[in-house]
Every structure is written in C-alpha cells, then in structure tokens.
Amino acid sequence: MKTYIFANWKMYLDFDESNILANALLLEKIDFNKIELALFPSALALREMTMVLNQTELKVGAQNVNWNPKGAYTGEISAQMYKDVGCKYALVGHSERRHVFGETDEDVRKKIEACLEADLIPVVCVGETKEDKDEGKREYRLKKQLMRAFENLDLANKEIVVAYEPVWAISKAGVGEACSAEEADDVHGWIKNELKQYTDKAIPVVYGGSANEKNVVSLLAQEMIDGVLPGNASTKFETFISLIKEAEKVS
Ligand code: 13P
C-alpha cells in the first residue's frame, strides 16, 4: 500500500496561493511509487488545480460535499459536481464541519453515500474531543461515529479511507500538539479492528492533528498508520515538501 499524504488546506489559502503552492510542488521530484499525494484546496481554487494536476500524479480532493445530487441548496456543491471537475477524493465529517458547522453522524453518512455514488473516494474523518478523552469516552465516540458511517454500507467495488483526527490535536492558528505516535498507533489498530465488523476490505487509516515535517517519520513508522492528513504544515512550501521528503524515507 502506498503512503497517503492528504493536504487539507482548509480556508488557509486563497486562489493564487493555492495555485502557486501546487505549481511549486509540481517542480519537485516526488516518488509517486511510494506516495499517494492529494491536495484539498478551497472549492474556488480546485477547478484550476485539477486542470493542471490531472495531467500529473498529484490528486485533488474536495473539503466537503453536499449529499444531494442537485437542487435548491444555496451555497452548496454536490459530490457529483466535484467529480465532474476532476476530483478523486472528498473529506467527509471533518471535525471542523462537525463542531463548527453542526454536522451530525447522520449527515456524514449521507455524504459518504453521495461520494460513493459519484465515484469520489470519501475520506471519513473521525475523532474524539478533549472532553471525550478526559472522560474516558474515546472508544465510545469513535465506535458511534464508525457505526453510523459504516453499518450496512455497500462498499462493493468502492474505495474508502478513514482519517483518525483527535479533535484536541488539531492546530488552531498554527498552534497544536499532535497525538504521540504510539498512542495514535493504538487507536488506529483499534479502529481497524472495529471496521472488521462492517467490511472485509482493508481500509487505510490515516492520521491528522498537528502532523508535520518533524513528527511524520515517527507517525509513519508505526504499523497501523497508513498516511497523514496535515493541515497547517501542508500550507507552506518549505514545511510541506520537507514533510513529503521525510515520509518518502519511511515508505
Ligand atoms: P492541523 O495539521 O493544522 O492540525 O490540521 C489537521 C486537520 O484538521 C487536517 O484535516
């Protein structure tokens, strides 16, 4: 399995900044036999990027989708629309969508189904809050999120990825502290085991939450961690290319 590096640019980069960073990455020698690299820019920058990147090994993903195919949903963009303009992936249920915009496990499920229907690969984000963790409810939270996402989900001929993103580890204004590699590895193992009740497929599980060029080697050296989903560290050329180069060493 290749190592996944998924760059979630959130609302950090505008149109020009996104295209400049994508073009700078294109000039670098990246070992795509080892790395599956996907960029998740804002919806506005995305079309410009797919036009260039779809001639290359770099992939593009959406940060969010609406589950309806079309209709009177002001401000929304459907999974099929993202597929039509050349996306391969879509983030679903990111913690900022859940906690800032009130997305529920049921919404997440509908988005997953819409992605699969449109042949976009959903990257399903799950993770516990600090409060969950402090109250010993991490497994309870993850169990619930995974059950709603995967129970009776038809994955025949489909791909799906899970991202473990502990909410407490996600950076704010560039400041955050990652989960330790060993702790993340344990949780990934637990998630993979949990997923066995829903599917026979080996579903990749990637880690997000202050992943950066300094901790990526220790994260990826763990048996159960199949890739990383950096936010802040992927938005600056120097830190991102060094994260990719470090990841290549252990992939
Ligand atoms: P940071 O790497 O900035 O903590 O963001 C992680 C994340 O939320 C990726 O989806």
The total number of structural domains in the chain stands at 1
Q: Dmax of the chain from CA atoms?
A: 48
State mean pLDDT over 99-125. Answer: 98
CB 13 within 8 A of CB 43: no
Question: Environment class of residue 74 by beta-carbon count within 10 Å: exposed (0-12), middle (13-18) or buried (19+)?
Answer: exposed
For the stretch 172-199, pLDDT in tens is 988 999 999 999 999 999 999 999 999 9
Ligand 1 pocket, Cβ-based, cut-off 6 angstroms: 8, 94, 165, 170-171, 176, 208-211, 229-233
Whole-angstrom distance, CA of residue 102 vs CA of residue 113: 19
Q: Which are the catalytic amino acids?
A: 94, 165
pLDDT band at 47 (very low <50, low <70, confident <90, very high): very high
Rounded (to 5) percent helix, strand, coil in the chain: 40, 15, 45
Domain span at residue 204 reads: 3-249
pLDDT reading at 248 higher than 90: yes
Q: For residue 52, what pLDDT is reported?
A: 95
CB 171 within 8 A of CB 96: no
State mean pLDDT over 30-51. Answer: 97
Q: For residue 62, what pLDDT is reported?
A: 98
pLDDT reading at 118 higher than 90: yes
pLDDT band at 111 (very low <50, low <70, confident <90, very high): very high
Q: For residue 174, what pLDDT is reported?
A: 81
Q: For residue 173, what pLDDT is reported?
A: 83
For the stretch 207-229, pLDDT in tens is 999 999 999 999 999 999 999 99
Q: Which residues pair with 60 in a beta bridge?
A: 39
pLDDT averaged over every residue in the chain = 97
- Give the angle subtended at the CA of 115 by the CAs of 56 and 81, to the nearest 5°: 65
CATH no. for residue 114? 3.20.20.70
Ligand 1: which of 4, 42, 96, 165 to mutate, most ligand atoms within 8 Å of CB? 165
Q: For residue 213, what pLDDT is reported?
A: 98
Percent of the chain scoring above 90 in pLDDT:
99
CA 137, 153, 229, 47 torsion-angle sign: negative
pLDDT reading at 233 higher than 90: yes
* Residue 47: strand, helix, or coil: helix
Entry pTM: 0.97
Which parts of 7-103 fold into alpha helices (H)?
15-26, 43-53, 79-84, 95-100
